[in-house]
């Protein structure tokens, strides 16, 4: 049997686009004499469709697309994900469904059993869990069709009581098909291969895995579709971060006896490529071309502009330097140097006059009160007003340059430097931003060396350094990682050797900054625990605060 794997970048709710891509792939698979083509989970509507699933009109559009796609399936079968109605009165209205299409029609529907409902996943919000298990016979092969999480209840830490693949296995299938919507995190590809390999080892069956590729706002899908033979050897893995298409002869795949060696990208290379794709797709799918951002001379905006230039082309980036009375000489120089290296024109718009006009308007109320956070924030907000004015006038999307360490402890000004349509680095800790800068400079100096070596500063008051207000980033990022990614509490952290006062201060900063993160732009997710839809915290709570 010849099987095609279609690794496609879908667009949520864009049925016309998604249907066209699916039908084109079916035609291509037919040309290449494939017997079966496999698409991703909820491919028709894109993933995650979220509360659009509650609209009958949306489900009707999914059904209509499936009907039209089925008609294309003559001389070939297709497996494709779409929601489908639960015909029973009891339970949620929908099933997360893999449609098996052949002979120009829907042959069978296979429902998802294990519904992920953690981190960024909300599937039990919409779907009823399946409790009917059936394989499908096609061209002498018996297929066990599963959907993403259905294969993940394996190993030591079992999140669910049942295991759908155990049920399907009783029907003696010849191959496992898994259609997925498994978003990227820097450690996800390895986890995924491990889990799928465990399944192959357990059931001694070959496995076809088809995932999404492309960005859907904060969620990035890396693709990584693969075929594993029953010896547990990954026979091939499709490219990350781009659309791809391959046809395999199952019998020949089964004969492979030594693993295909592919170079494993480093964590930072993965993050880099993921962010570039994330920016690119955000703009494409919204129908925008051009980005604007403020360049401070610091490392966050430097890394952001490099990624944006890769994603959108230097010609589509507008850089603005917004010096204040507290900006140091090297800031403008470093920022200018960077734009020259990137061949991006820049404008310098001083914020002094606007800042003064606010000082003067507020003088009757502030009187002689000392300069403090209020004045610091005014400067950041004046920058925000100018960048947004250019954005509104010329149709740029403003890129936010805050990093994850800042977002965590609330070191940023709401309605100021926290502005933007998209946060590029909001899931990248400061120490990782430095790693990204060094990665960007791996062949030649693009980001000026001084930007990387000087101590980080917001430059909102004389001689300000980040380290005046925050623990050293080396320590801070370690504590944040333990608290945010691993959910370790204060006692565990001090037992690990972190200073108790620093731990207490850091966790308090994190927990009392929820109100700021609530108003933050969407953050491109590259870690297993990003701020945004995957981390949901109360605002008025009083815990470690």
Quick one: which segment of 26-34, 223-231, 289-297, 379-387 binds its own copies (CB under 8 A)? Answer: 379-387
Cβ nearer to its own copies, comparing 388 with 475 = 388
- How many CB atoms lie under 10 A from the CB of residue 357? 11
Dihedral angle over CA of 375, 380, 382, 386, nearest 10: 170
Number of H-type helices and E-type strands within the chain = 18, 19
Contacting its own copies (CB under 8 A), which of 190, 255, 489, 496? 489
Contacting its own copies (CB under 8 A), which of 27, 55, 71, 103? 55
Q: Which strand (E) or helix (H) includes residue 178? A: strand 175-179
Contacting its own copies (CB under 8 A), which of 97, 182, 188, 419? 419
User: Shortest Cβ distance from residue 159 to its own copies (Å)?
Assistant: 7
Quick one: which segment of 22-30, 52-60, 204-212, 430-438 binds its own copies (CB under 8 A)? Answer: 52-60
Closest CA to 400 of 386, 413, 417, 385: 417
Q: Is 49 in the site for its own copies (CB under 8 A)?
A: yes
List strand residue ranges (DSSP E) for 105-155, in order.
105-111, 136-138, 141-147
User: Shortest Cβ distance from residue 404 to its own copies (Å)?
Assistant: 16
Quick check: 306 and 448 in contact, CB under 8 A?
Answer: no
User: Shortest Cβ distance from residue 499 to its own copies (Å)?
Assistant: 18
Site for its own copies in 426-485 (CB under 8 A): none
CA distances from 522 to 215, 330, 499 (A): 12, 31, 33
Residue 281 DSSP SS3 = helix
Closest CA to 116 of 96, 98, 135, 88: 96
Contacting its own copies (CB under 8 A), which of 173, 410, 448, 521? 521
Q: Is 393 in the site for its own copies (CB under 8 A)?
A: yes
Residue written as tokens 């001379």? 297
Contacts of 448 (CB under 8 A, 6+ apart): 302, 334, 337, 338, 341
What's 145's DSSP letter? E
Region of 255 please: left (phi>0), alpha (psi -120 to 50) or beta. Answer: alpha
Site for its own copies in 107-136 (CB under 8 A): 117-118, 122, 124-125
Closest CA to 405 of 424, 422, 427: 427
Cβ nearer to its own copies, comparing 157 with 463 = 157
Q: Is 11 in the site for its own copies (CB under 8 A)?
A: yes
Site for its own copies in 299-358 (CB under 8 A): 347, 349-351, 353-354, 356-358
Contacting its own copies (CB under 8 A), which of 485, 492, 505, 508? 492
Region of 463 please: left (phi>0), alpha (psi -120 to 50) or beta. Answer: left
Active site residues: 41, 112, 148
User: Shortest Cβ distance from residue 513 to its own copies (Å)?
Assistant: 13
Contacting its own copies (CB under 8 A), which of 37, 40, 44, 46? 46
Q: Is 368 in the site for its own copies (CB under 8 A)?
A: no
Q: CA-to-CA distance for 144 and 503, rounded, in angstroms?
A: 49
Cβ nearer to its own copies, comparing 361 with 501 = 361
Q: What is the CA radius of gyration of the chain?
A: 26
Q: Is 245 in the site for its own copies (CB under 8 A)?
A: no
Cβ nearer to its own copies, comparing 391 with 403 = 391
Quick one: which segment of 99-107, 324-332, 438-446, 486-494 binds its own copies (CB under 8 A)? Answer: 486-494
Q: Is 491 in the site for its own copies (CB under 8 A)?
A: yes
Contacting its own copies (CB under 8 A), which of 48, 294, 297, 323? 48
x-marked contacts with its own copies along 186-225 as a string, rule CB under 8 A: -----------------------------xxx--------
How many residues contact its own copies, by CB under 8 A? Answer: 97
Contacts of 348 (CB under 8 A, 6+ apart): 320, 321, 322, 323, 332
Cβ nearer to its own copies, comparing 56 with 263 = 56
Q: Is 519 in the site for its own copies (CB under 8 A)?
A: yes
Burial 35-68 (b: 16+ CB within 10 A, else e): bbbbbbbbbbbbbbbeebbeeeebbebbbebbee
Q: Is 377 in the site for its own copies (CB under 8 A)?
A: yes
Q: Is 9 in the site for its own copies (CB under 8 A)?
A: no
Half-sphere exposure of 199 (CA within 13 A, CB side): 32
Quick one: which segment of 101-109, 192-200, 411-419, 447-455 binds its own copies (CB under 8 A)? Answer: 411-419
Quick one: which segment of 25-33, 336-344, 497-505, 518-526 binds its own copies (CB under 8 A)? Answer: 518-526
Q: Is 269 in the site for its own copies (CB under 8 A)?
A: no
Strands 291-294 and 317-321: parallel
Q: CA-to-CA distance for 360 and 508, rounded, in angstroms?
A: 35
Residue 423 DSSP SS3 = strand
x-marked contacts with its own copies along 63-92 as a string, rule CB under 8 A: --------------------------xxxx
User: Shortest Cβ distance from residue 472 to its own copies (Å)?
Assistant: 25
């Amino acid at each position: 049997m010849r099987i095609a794997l279609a690794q496609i970048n879908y667009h949520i709710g864009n049925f016309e686009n998604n249907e066209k891509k699916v039908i084109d792939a079916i035609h291509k698979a037919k040309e290449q004499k494939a017997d079966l083509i496999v698409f991703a989970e909820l491919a028709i509507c894109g993933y995650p469709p979220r509360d659009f699933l509650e609209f009958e009109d949306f489900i009707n559009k999914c059904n209509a697309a499936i009907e039209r796609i089925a008609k294309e399936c003559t001389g070939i079968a297709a497996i494709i994900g779409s929601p489908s109605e639960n015909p029973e009165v009891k339970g949620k209205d929908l099933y997360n469904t893999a449609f098996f299409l052949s002979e120009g029609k829907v042959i069978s529907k296979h429902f998802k059993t294990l519904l992920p409902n953690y981190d960024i996943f909300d599937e039990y919000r919409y779907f009823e869990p399946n409790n009917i298990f059936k394989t499908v016979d096609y061209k002498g092969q018996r297929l066990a069709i599963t959907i993403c999480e259905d294969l993940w209840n394996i190993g030591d830490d079992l999140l669910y009581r049942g295991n759908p693949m155990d049920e399907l296995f009783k029907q003696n299938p010849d191959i496992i098909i898994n259609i997925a919507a498994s978003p990227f995190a820097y450690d996800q590809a390895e986890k995924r291969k491990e889990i799928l390999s465990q399944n192959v080892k357990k059931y001694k069956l070959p496995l076809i895995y088809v995932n999404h590729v492309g960005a859907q706002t904060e969620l990035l899908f890396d693709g990584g579709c693969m075929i594993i033979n029953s010896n547990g050897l990954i026979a091939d893995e499709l490219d990350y971060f781009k659309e791809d298409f391959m046809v395999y002869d199952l019998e020949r795949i089964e004969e492979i006896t030594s693993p295909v060696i592919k170079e494993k990208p480093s964590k930072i290379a993965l993050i880099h490529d993921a962010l570039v794709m994330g920016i690119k797709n955000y703009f494409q799918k919204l129908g925008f071309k051009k980005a604007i951002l403020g360049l401070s001379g610091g490392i966050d905006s430097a890394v952001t502009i490099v990624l944006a230039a890769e994603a959108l082309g230097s010609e589509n980036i507008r850089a603005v330097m917004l010096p204040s009375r507290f900006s140091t000489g090297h800031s403008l120089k470093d920022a200018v140097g960077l734009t020259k290296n990137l061949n991006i024109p820049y404008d310098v718009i001083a914020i002094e006059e606007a800042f003064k006009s606010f000082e003067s308007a507020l003088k009757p109320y502030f009187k002689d009160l000392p300069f403090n956070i209020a004045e610091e924030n005014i400067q950041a907000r004046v920058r925000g007003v100018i960048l947004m004015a250019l954005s509104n006038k010329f149709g740029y999307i403003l890129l936010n340059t805050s990093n994850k360490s800042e977002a965590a402890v609330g070191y940023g000004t709401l309605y100021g430097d926290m502005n933007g349509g998209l946060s590029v680095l909001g899931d990248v800790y400061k120490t990782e931003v430095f790693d990204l800068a060094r990665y960007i400079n791996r062949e030649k100096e693009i980001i000026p060396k001084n930007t990387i070596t000087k101590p980080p500063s917001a430059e909102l008051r004389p001689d300000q350094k980040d380290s005046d207000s925050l623990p050293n980033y080396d320590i801070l990022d370690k504590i944040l990682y333990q608290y945010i990614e691993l959910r370790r509490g204060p006692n565990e952290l001090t037992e690990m050797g972190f200073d108790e006062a620093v731990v207490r201060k850091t966790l308090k900063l994190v927990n009392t900054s929820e109100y700021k993160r609530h108003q933050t732009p969407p953050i491109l997710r590259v870690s297993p625990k990003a701020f945004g839809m995957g981390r949901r915290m109360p605002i008025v709570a009083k815990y470690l605060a």
